[in-house]
Amino acid sequence: MDTFRFDPLAADVLPDPYPHYRRLQDEDPVHWGVAGDPALPGCWYVTRYADVEAMLKDGRFGREINAPAAAATAIDRISAQWMVLRDPPTHTCLRGLVQRSFTPRTIEQWMPRMAAIAHRLIDTVADVIAVGGELDLLADFAVPYPVIIVAEMLGVPREDTAHFTPWTRALAAVIEFEQSDAVRTAGLRAIADLSAYLAEIIAQRRVEPQNDLISDLLAIEKETGEALGDDVLIGTCTQLLFGGNDPIAHLIGNGILALSRHPEQLAWLRRQDGVAESAADELMRYDSSVQMTFRYALEDVNWANKTIRRGDLVALVMGAANRDPMQFPHADRLDLARTPNRHLSLGQGIHYCLGAALARTEARVAFDILLRRLPKLSLSDVPLAWEEKVAVRGLKLLPVRF
Ligand code: HEM
């Protein structure tokens, strides 16, 4: 199709990509498009549910196309240990280290702590709420909420968790496609500070294990008699600190926005006894905070009459797959009771979100407490602006009043 080129950052796509996805699904489901900056190489955008699901499970598409850079920076060394960026066999080893800490049963035990963190964040802004003021639900609640939860799970003392939001923000900025020198310098400083901080906690837990994730990782060293090494330990901790922050923050933001735009669904949810998993899943499907993930073609592949060359970048657009009418009846309708709901927001295949049970539980707890404690929550009149990001979909600010 030569008539239009899809650009996820285009001004008319950012506020509502869904009509554009539908056009791609109908006219060119495996589409060669551009990504923001025309100086960057293009990539294939795959938008139909069946294709996205199949490619996520297809070993001909992977992550490791380039040899690691010789003069690696601290960020390169740490991110080389991020399972999401690795293929088997390294991926299998890294995921195996933490998998058992993320089972639904283990995560369930964290529910009371999550609820306490959510209440604490709302208590902090109770004065504003009491006088019916305005606040940014992202900055004041949704952004710090997942960072504090994972920091506490790792074993970071509560009084130190305040450092983690700025550290993880500075790092997240470096991982985006385009970045200025100032952003990169701030990111490098953040990784140095975060690594030094984590190294200290790791050293303490070696001497005195606690009931936390860092101690669980160190227990593996004891079981196998093999040291994991600082890069693996710090890399794994930072992957966990990062993996879910933006996705959870914007799941809450996009979810509150969707509920505000669907008052009958919001009223229905308020009448329920808590927020069921199916409601959280529908909010994930309807306006996913993770719109796409990327793979390289590891060999030449023919797919839907297109030749995808070895080394080509492929964007698997879960945000589009989630609205594919071939998979979901009334795909554009928000239906909090929808079942079945095999959305792809959490991925599929070997990289299926490690934090899936955590994500669902965090979402249920957050929506439940927000709805109960803020019964009059509504959007303020400030115009909405979307983050200029390719993979993550979310608002810059979510101004609300009470
Ligand atoms: C709404 C929230 C979340 C969404 C939408 C989400 C989405 C995803 C997706 C799509 C992937 C697969 C990426 C790919 O195939 O390239 C993934 C992987 C991953 N997620 Fe999540 N995630 C969420 C929350 C979390 C949380 C809370 C954590 C917590 C630690 C987490 C940790 C991870 C990790 C470690 C991976 C890599 C797994 C692997 O490579 O095997 N995620 N996530």
- pLDDT tens per residue across span 130-162: 888 899 999 999 999 999 999 999 999 888 888
Q: Which residue puts its alpha carbon closest to atom 17 of ligand 1?
A: 353
Where does residue 109 rank: exposed (0-12), middle (13-18), buried (19+ CB within 10 A)?
exposed
Q: How far is the CA of 382 from the centre of ligand 1 (A)?
A: 31
Query: What number does the ligand 1 atom closest to the CA of 150 have?
Result: 30
Distance CA 213, CA 389 (A): 31
Decide yes or no: CATH 3.40.50.1980 for domain 18-401. Answer: no
pLDDT band at 305, cuts 50/70/90? very high
Q: What is the mean pLDDT of residues 110-126?
A: 96
Per-residue pLDDT, averaged over 81-92, amounts to 94
SS3 track for 71-133: CCCHHHHHHCCCHHHCCCCHHHHHHHHHHHHHCHHHHHCCHHHHHHHHHHHHHHCHHHHHCCC
Mean pLDDT of the chain: 92
Residue 239 Cα to ligand 1 midpoint, Å, equals: 10
3 pLDDT more than 70: no
Nearest Cα to Cα of residue 175 among 90, 231, 239:
239
Which residue's alpha carbon is nearest to atom 18 within ligand 1?
353
CA of 398 to the centre of ligand 1 (A): 23
71 — pLDDT class (breaks 50, 70, 90): low
Beta strands 306-308 and 61-62 are unpaired
> How far, in whole angstroms, is CA 389 from its chain's centroid?
12
What is the CA(243)–ligand 1 centre distance, in A? Answer: 5
Q: Which of 353, 360, 393 to mutate to test the pocket of ligand 1 (most atoms within 8 A of CB)?
A: 353
Q: Which residues line ligand 1 (CB under 6 A)?
A: 83-84, 95, 146, 150, 239-240, 243-244, 247-248, 251, 284, 289-290, 293, 345-347, 351, 353-355, 358-359
Q: Is the separation of the CB atoms in 76 and 231 below 8 Å?
A: no
Q: Which of 47-61, 77-91, 254-268 has the lowest mean pLDDT?
A: 77-91
Q: Is the predicted pLDDT of residue 40 greater than 70, yes or no? A: no
User: Is 2 a residue whose pLDDT tops 80?
Assistant: no
Residue 355 scores a pLDDT above 50: yes
Q: What is the pLDDT, as a whole number, of residue 243?
A: 86
* CA dist list (Å): 180 to 26, 185, 385, 396: 38, 9, 21, 19
- The pairing of beta strand 378-379 with beta strand 313-316: unpaired
User: Per-residue pLDDT averaged across 12-31, rounded?
Assistant: 96
Segment 304-316 shows an average pLDDT of 95
Q: How far is residue 332's CA from residue 214's CA, in Å, rounded to a whole number?
A: 42
351 Cα–ligand 1 center, Å = 8
pLDDT digits (tens, 9 = 90+) for 269-291: 999 999 999 999 999 999 999 99
Q: How far is the CA of 352 from the centre of ligand 1 (A)?
A: 7
Q: Is the pLDDT of residue 381 over 80?
A: yes
Structure tokens given for 115: 């609820």
- State the distance from the centre of ligand 1 to the C-alpha of 160, rounded, in angstroms: 25
> Which residue, chain included where needed, has tokens 């792809």?
344
**Which of 171-185, 344-358, 372-386 bottoms out in mean pLDDT, i.e. has the lowest?**
171-185
Single-letter residue type at 259: L
Is residue 61 scored above 80 in pLDDT? Answer: yes
Q: What does the pLDDT read at residue 87?
A: 95
pLDDT (0 to 100) of residue 19: 97
- Nearest residue CA, atom 41 of ligand 1? 351
Mean pLDDT is lowest, of 72-81, 97-106, 269-278, for 72-81
Q: What pTM does this model have?
A: 0.95
Of the listed ranges 131-145, 172-186, 208-222, 276-290, the one predicted with least confidence: 172-186
Residue 1 is predicted with a pLDDT of 47
CA distances from 295 to 65, 252, 379 (A): 9, 27, 37
Is the pLDDT reported for residue 173 higher than 90? no
Cβ atoms of 160 and 123 closer than 8 Å: no
**Domain ranges across the chain:** 18-401
User: Which atom of ligand 1 lies closest to the CA of 85?
Assistant: 40
Q: Cα angle at 327 between 324 and 331, to 5 degrees?
A: 50
Closest atom of ligand 1 to 294 CA is: 16
Distance CA 143, CA 149 (A): 11
Q: Which of 354, 365, 367 to mutate to test the pocket of ligand 1 (most atoms within 8 A of CB)?
A: 354
Single-letter amino acid, residue 6: F
Task: Give the model's pLDDT for residue 389.
Answer: 87
Report the range of poorest mean pLDDT among 215-229, 264-278, 300-314, 336-350: 215-229
Q: Around 226, how many Cα atoms within 13 Å sit in the side-chain half-sphere?
A: 4
pLDDT at 253: 98
